[in-house]
Structure formats: structure tokens, C-alpha cells
Amino acid sequence: MRQILTDIADFFLPRTCHICGCRLRETEKTFCVRCIETLPRSLYHLMPLNPMERRFAGLVPFVRATGHFIYSRNSQLAEAIHDMKYRKFPSVGRRLGEIVGEELNVAGFFAGADCIAAVPMHWWKEARRGYNQTDFIACGLSLATGLPVVHVLEASRPHKTQTAMTLEQRQANLAGSFRINNADSLRGKGLVIVDDVCTTGATLRTLAAEIVSAVPDCRLYLLSLCVTI
Ligand SMILES: [Zn+2]
């Protein structure tokens, strides 16, 4: 019955690829297979001490770190990310998170991980936007890996947009802006922290420092959907 309803819905309102606009096959979700294949991968997870890990090495303890897609301005991926964040298409984040989860899971990236947490957004910003896109990325990762999403991270105060800031300015801007709730639940656990786009790494670094300060034996996996190079 559900299949019949899906077929009818597809006939009257065809599902299309968010990137190229082509009609999606029954098995495709949000993007067509061809567009998924052409998204630029960093393949950092296959490299020992990859460029993401070098950003954090010696600054915060972590098990693994990676940024999965290479982000560059004016690319199709950048357009999709913009839609995800600002044009009410959070489902783009869920699908991209699912793709990342599938590809990293096969490579064993999540070995020893117990749960996933999204980089939090301050409630006021989330209320204005209507959603936190990283929650959707975390949801997609969870679908692909079976790891549960935990809501233990909170943005305790709003911070200014960081786009034009240097690493030092970003860190000053972020200082004291995160809070860990129910820290006991993270004791001895492997936690995957998920962000959308990693530019300087200031957000993941600040958040990781807060978590290990509150829960020293929590093992961190730092994961960004996209990374700039
Ligand atoms: Zn497409």
C-alpha cells in the first residue's frame, strides 16, 4: 500500500535531484547517484595523520578527525550547503550525513564510537532559522551507522557570525559559549561530534576542549561534513 502511495505521489509530484534537477529513481533520495558520485571527497579518513587531524594535534585529545567533502565557493556542493543552512532544506543535511556515515562506516572510522552529538546552535538562532542543520547531519549519520544521537551539548550564549574572523578571533568569540549537560553519561564513551563546515577548526576545537575538561575519559571523534582547504 505504501509503495502504491509513493508511486502515485511520484507521478503527480516527481521527486527531483537537489543538485541537477533530474527526476529521481525509486531508490534515490534527495540526490541522484551521478551527483553523489561527483561530490568532491577529501578521503582524509584513509590518510594517517590527515590535514584535519593535524589541525587539532597537540591542542585537544581525539581518536580520529576528518572532514569528508571538500568545500569550495561557487561549487554545487556550496550551493547545496547554503540551501541546507539558509533556505529551509535541512533534509539535504540528513542525506549528506547519511552518505558520509555509510562511507566512513565501511572504512572503520567509527570503531569504538558509542554515540553522536551535533554542534549545538543557540536556541534563539535556532528559533529564527527553524532548525539546526547539524542535528539533521547527525540524524543521517545515525541512520547509516546505527549509533544513537545524544543531546548533551548546548550553546549557552549566542556568538557573532564567524565567516570573516581569524582563528584567534573565532576562539575568543566562542570562549565560554558551550555547556555540557549530563556529563556523567559521557564517562568512558566514544563521542562523535558533528559539524557542517570546518574552516579554521575553532568550533570543534573549542567544543572538544570543553568536553574533555568536563569528562576527561570521553574519547572524541571530530567529524565535519565539509572542510575547506
Ligand atoms: Zn543529480
Dist. CA 35 → ligand 1 center (Å):
4
pLDDT tens, per residue, the chain with 229 residues: 666 666 666 666 789 999 999 999 999 999 999 999 999 999 999 999 999 999 999 999 999 999 999 999 999 999 999 999 999 999 999 999 999 999 999 999 999 999 999 999 999 999 999 999 999 999 999 999 999 999 999 998 776 666 677 777 777 777 778 999 999 999 999 999 999 999 989 999 999 999 999 999 999 999 999 999 8
SS3 153: strand
CA distances 172 to 167, 178, 216, Å, are: 9, 13, 23
- Give distance in angstroms: CA of 14 to centre of ligand 1: 14
Amino acid (one-letter) located at 159: H
Distance 42 CA to ligand 1 centre (A): 20
How many angstroms is it from 81 CA to the middle of ligand 1? 15
d(CA 60, CA 210): 10
Task: Compute the distance from residue 187 Cα to the ligand 1 centre, in Å.
Answer: 42
pTM for this prediction: 0.90
Cα–Cα dist 185/218, whole Å: 10
Ligand 1 centroid from CA 135, angstroms? 24
The three three-digit cell numbers of residue 224, written as one number: 565535519
Quote the ligand 1 centre to 23 CA distance (angstroms): 8
